Amino acid sequence: MANTAVADPESGLSRAQLAKRYGLRVAGERPPLAEYARRLWAYRHFMTAYSRAKVASSFSNTQLGQLWQVLTPLTNAAVYYLIFGVIISQNRHVSNFIAYLCTGVFIFMFTQTAVQNGTSAITSNLGLIRALQFPRAALPITVTLIQLQQLLMSMVVLAAIVLITGEPLTFRWFLLVPMLLLQTIFNIGLTMVMARLGSKIVDLKQVMPFVMRTWLYGSGVLYSVKLFEERLPGWAAKLLESNPILVYIELARHALLESNQQNLVTSPGHLWLLAVGWAVVMGIGGFVYFWRGEEEYGRG
């Protein structure tokens, strides 16, 4: 009713008509999807610069600084090797278990950290959201870009581990580039989903470590993926073999580990189809899901 009432007696126009005449819009209004994507692209330089600044400052208060970006996955891999390689003796079932394990840990942590940090991408930036008008999708995308930069630094160490443990340098290593691109798209979509959910469910951040730990055990990071076929019913094994993180880990192992070619969960061609499918579904689906909640972020 308020929009149809005359707001300007001289012109006889309502508030809605006046807003249309002068090009005014509701603050925080959700634009059409194509327009939203265009605006987000315009902020690409902001996202890359912001992510670099975050990486540079993330370990500024520690003595070892950014070296922790490499030490963290290495320490995790060392602990897992002690438990699963030495105590449980999984190294007897997997050739070059050290490189096998490190590859899984490094790739898994890329998604794990992006998802966990993405859960609070909105709630931890409420001041920025309420002060400035920009596509809120820039925040979860920045979270993923931060983790991608840290992963790329860690990949240098991973490459050294793979070579030191006896793996040859082959042209298949170039397959890491499209694999990481697909995983990054997948992570961006998933991080957007978690960012919107996290803005609604405050306690979600406390639950995510348990969810990610379960996902870790179901992704073949710590043991041979052949155990799925040996220990589980056929349908359950197929379900786990389609797990997106397992798919990206297996592609990384296919690229880096000559000793693991006979132990892939399925054929490389099938893995690539799954990798592309997960990137497209999660990338587009997560973007649309986040866009639909654009007007909600920072309210209340």
Q: What is the pLDDT of residues 123-171, one digit of tens each?
A: 888 888 888 888 999 999 999 999 998 888 888 888 988 898 889 999 9
Predicted TM-score of the model (pTM): 0.85
Comparison of pLDDT for 90 and 50, the residue scoring more: 50
Q: Are strands 13-14 and 6-8 parallel, antiparallel or unpaired?
A: antiparallel
CA distance 25 to 56: 38
- Output 211 or 18, whichever has higher pLDDT: 211
β-pair partners for 74: none
User: Is 50 exceeded by the pLDDT of residue 1?
Assistant: no
What average pLDDT does the structure give for the chain?
Answer: 83
**CA distance linking residue 123 with residue 169, whole number of Å:** 44
Percent of the residues in the chain that have a pLDDT greater than 90, as a whole number: 41
- Which of 26-30, 70-74, 294-298 has maximum average pLDDT? 294-298
Residue 185 has pLDDT above 80, yes or no: yes
Please say if the pLDDT value at position 199 is more than 50: yes
